[in-house]
Amino acid sequence: MQPFDKDKEHFFVIGVNRAYLMRYIDHVSTGTIHGTIAEPREVFRNAIHLGASCIILAHNHPSGSLIPSRPDIKVTKELVEAGKILKIEVIDHVIVSSEGYYSFSDEGEIAVEE
C-alpha cells in the first residue's frame, strides 16, 4: 500500500459485524486539503457486497482541526439516513488529525442502536 499524502483528506469506511469485529477497511476517496467526497453508493458498496452489519466512517483533517465542518455534519447525517434504509448502521464517524480525534458517537451526534 502506498503511503497517504497527509496534505489531502482521505475518507475511509470500516465494515464490522454485529460483534464489532472488523470485516474490511475501504479507502473510499482522496480529496484536497479542503475536503473529499463520500457518496453513499461508494460508502456502502463493500458493506453490501461483504455483508457488514455496521460501518464506521473516518477521515482526516490535514489542518489539524478536530472541529467538524458543516459538510462533515451534513454528510454524516446523510450517510446515517442511507444506512437506515439499507439496514446497515453507521455506528460512528471519526475525524483524525495531528491533534487527536473527534468521534460523532462520543459527542452524541450519532445514536448507536442497541
Across residues 10-24, what is the average pLDDT? Answer: 96
For domain 10-103, say whether CATH 3.40.140.10 is its number: yes
Q: What's residue 55's pLDDT?
A: 98
> What average pLDDT is seen over the chain?
93
| Res. 1: pLDDT tops 70 | no
How far is it, in rounded angstroms, from Cα 32 to Cα 37?
10
Q: How far apart are CA 89 and CA 79, in angstroms?
A: 9
pLDDT in tens, 80-109: 999 999 999 999 999 999 999 999 999 999
8 alpha carbon, distance to own chain's centre: 16
pLDDT at 26 over 70: yes
Tell me the three state secondary structure of residue 33.
coil
